[in-house]
Structures are given as C-alpha cells and as structure tokens.
Amino acid sequence: MKKSAFTLVSLLLVMTMFLAACGNNGNNNNGGNTGNNTGTATSTPEPTKEPEKEPDPVKLRVFSTFGGTDAARDAFQARLDAFTAANPNVTIENDTMSANDDGFRTKVNTDMTSGNEPDLLFYFIGTDAQDIIDAGKVVPMDDILASDPEWKDGFAPAALDFAKTGDGHIYAIPLTGYYEGLFVNKKLFEDNNVELPTDWDKMKAAVSAFAAKGITPLAGPFDQSHYLIEHFVLGAAGTGHNAGLLNGIDPNWEKGLAAMKELYDLGAFPKDAATIDLGMASNYYSQGLAAMIIEGSWAIGGWADDVKNNTTVLPFPAIPGGAGTGKDVIGGFGSGFYMSKAAYDNAAKKDATIALLKFMTNKDSITEIATANGGTPAGKDIQIEGLPQAALDGFKMVADATSVNAPIDSQVDPETFTTLRGTIQPVLTGKMTPMEALEKAQKVEVEAKK
C-alpha cells in the first residue's frame, strides 16, 4: 500500500510540474503574455491574404447608328476597343445600322418588344423613342447622373436640356449634336458663274442654270425625302415647322410643299429621284454631279478632302409669303445612349453597362466622335481642331440662326412621317395637291394620338 501511495504521489507531482511548465511557455490563446511571464511574447502569424477575385466575364450588346458609311464609325469602334482593353472581362458586341436605313427603327422596336433588348442603345431623341419609354423598356438617367456629379458636370447644360422628355426626365445621354443645312459646291457655282442661293430668287435661278447645263441642281430622293420635307416646310413656316399636324395644318406647310413642286418643275431633282436613296443622292453630290444637297453635319466627315474644301453650308432660303426668316436652322442633339431596363435589372450587367455608358460619353469619347463627324460636342469646354472650313461654316450658320428646330420626324408619329414621305412624289408630279398630302398625314397623326 505504501508503495502504491508513493507511486501515486510521484505521478501527481510529475503531472503538476508538466502543467506548470506548459503554463510558463510565454503564450496564451490570445497570443499575449501570462501574468507571471517575464519572457518575450511570440506573435501569431498574419493570416494569408486571398488573391483578389477576377471580375466575372460580362458580355454587352451595343446597338447604334454608327454603321454603314457613318463618318464616326471607326472612331466609335475605337472607343469601344479602348473600354474593353481597360476592362478585359467585358466583351462588347457592336451591332450597327445606318441611320438612313429605314429598317433601323423597325429593328429597334422589334428588339425592344421581343426580349432582345441591347444593353446600350444609341437612338433618336424624341417621338421615335416615346413608345419604348412608355413601355418601360429604358430607364431614366436622372439618378445615374445625380450619383456622379463630375460626369454630369462635363455636359453642356443645353445638351442635357435638349434630351429631356415631356415628363421632365432624361432617358438618353447625348454624345454629339448636329445641324442640317443646304450644302453647296462652291466650285461648281463659281465655274458656272451662278450666285449662291442665299434667297429664294437666287435658288430658282441656280436651279434653272444648272438644269440647263445638265448638272443636277439639288440631289434628293423622293422616298427618303426626310431633309426635303423638313427644309421646305422650314423655309415657309419658320418656327411653325414645330407645330406638327395634330392640332390642324399650318398654311405655311402647304406653301412649303408647293415651293418644292415649283423647283421640281424647274428641273431641280435627279432624273432617277423616284428610285434612289439618300446614300445615292450623297454620292451624286460628292462626285460633283450635283450642285447642292440638303444634308446634316455628319455628312462632311465622309467626303473626300477636295469635296470638303469645295463645300460651304447655308441656311435654306426663306420662301416668299411664309413665316421663315432665311436663318432658321434644324439642329440640336437628336440622338443619345439609352440603357435598357433589362440591363439595369441584371446584377451581372448593370455596373458594367453604366461604366461603358460613362466611358462612351466622357470628354475623350465626345472629342473623338465630334472630330470624326463634325458634330457639336455635347461636353463643355471641348474645342475641335482640324475641322474643314465647311464644318466651321456650319457652326457659324447655327450661331447666326434666328431659331434652331428639331426635325419634323422627331415631333410627329413615325407612321405620320412615313405617310407624308409617301405623298412627295404624287405632289411633285401633280397627282396630289400639297393640301391633300397634308390632310392625309394629319389623319394618321390624329389616329395615332387617340
């Protein structure tokens, strides 16, 4: 018994010494010193940092009018490439059509109603976009702008004001503005001793002189007659151009269409005006086969240097008996970037889409696109260098304008404008009167607004 007791005591003593030694090793569970420890503490190793997770791949689709022969097509693609270079996790499908292609509006409406919405849509501001706005297919930009004051402050206030819709919201962020006018081949006028068409009598004299020499006076198609309709109405109605057709017919609109027929009877238009499109009309002008064309500022960038150097741009002359001043101009910020509601609600796409939107409308992007297409920059304090004299003439025309007006097709229902376009050839060939044409279009407008 004594031996067993001694053995038990000895075992307890050894265990006590062992525990004491463990308690005096300089560390506790918190990595600090015990109250009786006078040695140096050993720190716990820093936890290993996990490598930052690479952003998930994102594929975005951008649909725009920067296609076909658009002067800024390459500049637009270059800016998309710059974004993907800085954001290698993002892949962009650059889906484009020409703004002159009548199928563009149809494709936008089809995509938006079939669940095939692009993430960013560069599209017209105005009536064309109202259906997709009313259907909630695109989101207001007000909160996105407000959340980034530096980005918002980079825009010219007039550009954002122009983009506001009837409900006071901004749905489209503009990139560059534009103007339209009467582009004139100065060399053809000089070589043929013809005065520039700065008033209606000089316009008629120029048409007669060039027609007699076998030179097309004014390149313009009858079907894609967007610019013809706008400017003849503008020349007669002035700011009454903005009246639309819903609440009656401004008598000056009738005078505008009648003036178009007057020039037609003098031989103003190409012999194949009934079958050509806007692209072919522009080719006639750029090849020196036509003395004048009604076009937009974007056309300049697509012309060869000799065409640019030989061109000036004038406001369409006032038509006698009307309300036009001869200094009324069509222009503004007619297109912008819309963000689809589908992209906004998609957690995997939302941030990347907004980042792309901001990148494509920053100062560098606006500068490069405006340099390419000669458009008015939507950003503040942007100076475009190296523009041809024709573009500078266009800027001066706008600066001297008594009014700057949105195009008719942005102020009436698309079907109304299509109907009006369809009446141009019958009016010019005498199969329909100007008033009959306007009454037909007005009926469509009234029905569309019911």
Distance from the first to the final alpha carbon of the chain: 114
User: Which amino acid, one-letter code, is at 342?
Assistant: A
Helix (H, G, I), strand (E, B) or coil at 369: helix
pLDDT > 90? residue 321? yes
The backbone torsions φ and ψ at residue 95, rounded to the nearest 5 degrees and listed phi first, read -100, 120
C-alpha span between 303 and 313 (Å, rounded): 14
Nearest CA among 316, 343, 320 for reference residue 405:
316
Q: Whole-structure pTM over 0.85, yes or no?
A: no
Sorted by where each starts, the structural domains of the chain and their CATH numbers stand as 58-177+333-389 (3.40.190.10), 179-332+397-448 (3.40.190.10)
For 417-438, how does the pLDDT look when each residue is reduced to its tens digit (9 = 90+)? 999 999 999 999 999 999 999 9
pLDDT of residue 44: 58
* Mean pLDDT calculated for residue range 272-277: 96
Nearest CA among 92, 96, 93 for reference residue 73:
96
pLDDT category of residue 302 using cuts at 50, 70 and 90: confident
pLDDT category of residue 13 using cuts at 50, 70 and 90: very low
Helix (H, G, I), strand (E, B) or coil at 335: strand
For 389-405, how does the pLDDT look when each residue is reduced to its tens digit (9 = 90+)? 999 999 999 989 999 99
Structure-model confidence comparison of residues 39 and 430, the more confident one: 430
pLDDT of residue 30: 37
pLDDT of residue 357: 98
* Mean pLDDT calculated for residue range 349-376: 95
Q: What percent of the chain shows pLDDT beyond 70?
A: 88
pLDDT of residue 347: 96
> What residues contact residue 67 under an 8 Å CB cut-off, 6+ apart?
73, 96, 97, 98
For 68-115, how does the pLDDT look when each residue is reduced to its tens digit (9 = 90+)? 888 899 999 999 999 999 999 999 999 999 877 778 899 999 999 999
DSSP notation for 269-314: S-TTTTT--HHHHHHHHHTTSEEEEEEEGGGGGGS-HHHHHTEEEE
Nearest CA among 439, 405, 428 for reference residue 245:
439
pLDDT category of residue 288 using cuts at 50, 70 and 90: very high
pLDDT of residue 100: 75
Q: The tokens of 381 are what?
A: 């304090």
**Whole-number average pLDDT of the chain:** 89
pLDDT of residue 209: 98
* One-letter-per-residue 3-state SS of 79-144: HHHHHHHHCCCEEEEEEECECCCCHHHHHHHHHHHCCCCCCEEEEECCHHHHHHHHCCCECCCHHH
pLDDT category of residue 52 using cuts at 50, 70 and 90: low
C-alpha span between 90 and 327 (Å, rounded): 47
> What residues contact residue 220 under an 8 Å CB cut-off, 6+ apart?
227, 228, 269, 270, 273, 281, 293, 294
pLDDT > 80? residue 49? no
Kind and range of the H or E element at 179? strand 176-185
Which of the residue ranges 79-88, 155-164, 168-177, 304-313 would you say has the lowest mean pLDDT?
A: 155-164
pLDDT of residue 112: 94
Which of the residue ranges 85-89, 235-239, 312-316, 377-381 would you say has the lowest mean pLDDT?
A: 377-381
For 192-233, how does the pLDDT look when each residue is reduced to its tens digit (9 = 90+)? 999 999 999 999 999 999 999 999 999 999 999 999 999 999
